Amino acid sequence: MRPLILLGLLAGCQSAPLPPLETVSRVDLNRFMGDWYVIAHIPTFLERQAYNAVESYRLDPEGRIATTFTFREGGFDGAAKRYTPTGFVTDRESNATWGMQFIWPIKADFRITYLTPDYGITVIARQKRDYVWVMARRPHLTDQERTAVEAHVAGLGYDLAQLRYVPQRWESQP
């Protein structure tokens, strides 16, 4: 009898699965390519102290997404950091779900959940709701844009208290 009670208690401790993240209906990959300033994020351990963070995408001849992520660590004059993961579109119908590979064979889940019609602002989220990135074609958002993006991120199930705004200061854009 005790094993059954223990199993019941353990089952009750499991968290409910999160509902699937809804992505945008369609991403024109050619329009999506290029430089994106990382405006805000719930950061991975690599980017917790990022300043002037920029994510750049380029389609390679095999249809993969050559990615370059650059930032200054710890301040505007901090050490320059550069990472070059490879993206793989995993949903060719929408082009909104990717696998991002930093280390073979692991591909992290990336989902484009928000994209303005002019391809000026995007939100990339993960099904686990552990990390999120708000990016734009320019280094700052208006108050109205910021409010809309924060509402979207909160609506996905993220804790906005964990959202870090990336300091951006540029004399000229990269």
Residue 38's pLDDT is 98
Which strand (E) or helix (H) includes residue 113?
A: strand 106-115
Sign of CA dihedral 54, 81, 167, 148: positive
Residue 101's pLDDT is 84
Is the pLDDT at 135 greater than 80, yes or no? yes
Residue 10's pLDDT is 36
Residue 20's pLDDT is 87
Closest CA to 53 of 167, 172, 171, 173: 167
Using 50, 70 and 90 to split pLDDT, how confident is the model at 7?
very low
Residue 103's pLDDT is 65
The structural domains of the chain, with segments of one domain joined by +, span: 21-165
Q: Using one digit for the tens of pLDDT, what is the confidence trace for 147-163?
A: 999 999 999 999 999 99
Cα distance between residue 136 and residue 86, in whole Å: 20
Residue 2's pLDDT is 41
Residue 19's pLDDT is 84
Cα distance between residue 135 and residue 58, in whole Å: 16
Q: Using one digit for the tens of pLDDT, what is the confidence trace for 29-88?
A: 999 999 999 999 999 998 999 999 999 999 999 999 999 999 999 999 999 999 999 999
Superfamily of domain 21-165: Calycin beta-barrel core domain (2.40.128.20)
pLDDT: which is higher, 10 or 40: 40
Mean pLDDT of 17-21: 81
* Residue tagged 């009750």 (tokens): 12
Residue 144's pLDDT is 98
- The Cα-based distances of 149 to 1, 59, 128 in angstroms read 51, 26, 19
Residue 106's pLDDT is 65
Q: State the pTM of this model.
A: 0.87
